[in-house]
A and B are shown apart, each in its own frame.
Chain A
Amino acid sequence: MKRNSVARRKVFGRFAYRLGVMPMTMFVGLFFLGCSGSSTRGPLPETGQASESQPAEVGKPPDDSEVTLNLVDEKELRAVLERHRGKVVLVDFWATWCAPCKKLFAHTVELYERFADRGLVVVSVSLDDPAAESDVIEFLQERGATFENFISRYKAGPETMELFEIDEGALPHLRIYDRDGKLYRKFAINTTAPVAEEIDRTMVELLGP
């Protein structure tokens, strides 16, 4: 389906520049040509896709790390969790339209820095419209989100909430899976509020202080 028309996209930091900007730009350019070609077949007449991944780092603070963003649906997300069996996994569902999510995201980055070497895997899933991809990338870069980042294949609307099982229909929504891949705790609006202290406590429970 046309959902596949936007495939894997990477945004490179300055490290990539040192490796050589020219070939990279050409590659990205070619990639987007292919992309817009396929989108003429699908009913997603988005314009300006070719420009959104122009080297965005000009004027930004130096950042040697690489921020990646891939499309994901609920089945692919399950496969990601499966791949990380044996580790504790934190999934942070957020969106650029959700102010509390953006606030909490800084905490998610901190958790990653604090617990990654003890076996924590962090996965972020943006429930933005794929058309808002450039805003998502920009935000992830600002926050230095060097873990696995995804954006929903579904447009921002009821379907994405339904398929990712965000029952409350609102964000932020965080899930923590234990090393056996079992859902250990869910932080959701109206049930266990997504509060930094509570999330910390769960991390310590699973990974030690």
Chain B
Amino acid sequence: MIGKWRVGAAAVAVVMLLVFSSACDAELNIGDKGPDWTGIVGTDDKQHSLSDYKDAKLVVMVFTCNHCPVAKAYEDRLVSLQEDYKAKGVQVIAVNVNNLPADRLDKMKERAAEKRFNFPYLYDKTQKIGHDYGAKVTPHVFVLDGKRRLAYVGAIDDSMRPGGVKTHFLRDALDALLAGSKPPKAVTKQFGCSVKYEKK
């Protein structure tokens, strides 16, 4: 009897594990290795890989897009962040995985030129990179440390309206990491437009 129960319980556990691992994206935790990615096209028409940026002390991956008003509200802030942190060895990489007409590569090129992006703006139409990282909204930030482990995840700051910003979560995290310490807040709630994942 007990044996049967055990087998039954194990079977249920296996099934549940399968269901959960296939239905949900793996949740990336602080300290986890950032999933690797290669050959993702940018608005410069070149293929980009995470290993291209091996010299960067910190990599700031920002899932963003063209159409979302929240993402747009943060474009200028990302440009000035890259400017301020370039010499410190911080590399911003913007990634779009939406396939809406307004978010496709030709539109991304227009937007990158218009807003004078000083960082790569990549397009993964397979959406794999978004699933791998568990990007839920635009903008959604993932900071990878020197060993490319997740060191900060969440929002850029505390207010969509630039005039209302009090706490610069991302900048505070970068400053701490560059100084060799832990971010004051390593996880903040994401805020923005939902990433437009396609049903499989």
Interface code B132-165, partner A: CB below 8 Å = 1, 0 otherwise? 0000110010000000000000110111110110
Chain B residues with CB under 8 Å of A99's CB are: 67, 193
Across-interface contacts of B159 in A (CB, < 8 A): 129, 155-157
A131 part of interface (Cβ distance < 8 Å): yes
B191 on the interface (CB 8 Å rule)?
yes
Q: Are A190 and B189 in contact (CB under 8 A)?
A: no
Which residues of the partner chain B approach A97 to less than 8 Å between Cβ atoms?
68-70, 73, 160, 193
- A142 within 8 Å of B (CB atoms): no
Instruction: Write out the residue numbers on chain B whose beta carbons fall within 8 Å of the beta carbon of A132.
Output: 161
User: Are A190 and B194 in touch, CB under 8 angstroms?
Assistant: yes
Interface size class of B (residues with CB under 8 A): 20 to 34
For B163, list chain A residues within 8 Å (CB): 131
Tell which of B161, B169, B194 touches A189, judged by Cβ atoms closer than 8 Å.
B194
- Decide: B161 and A168 in contact? CB cutoff 8 A: no
Q: Which residues of A contact B120 (CB under 8 A)?
A: none
Q: Residues on B close to A: CB < 8 A?
A: 67-70, 73, 136-137, 140, 154-155, 157-161, 163-164, 169, 188-194
A168-B136 in contact (CB<8A): yes
| CB proximity to B under 8 Å, residues A148-172 | 155-162, 168-170
The interface residues of chain B lying within 8 Å CB-to-CB of A160 are 191
Contacts of B154 in A (CB 8 A): 158
B161 in contact with A169 (CB, 8 Å)? no
Q: Are B69 and A158 in contact (CB under 8 A)?
A: no
Name B189's closest neighbour in chain A (CB-CB). A158
Query: Using Cβ atoms and an 8 Å threshold, which residues of chain B touch A30?
Result: none
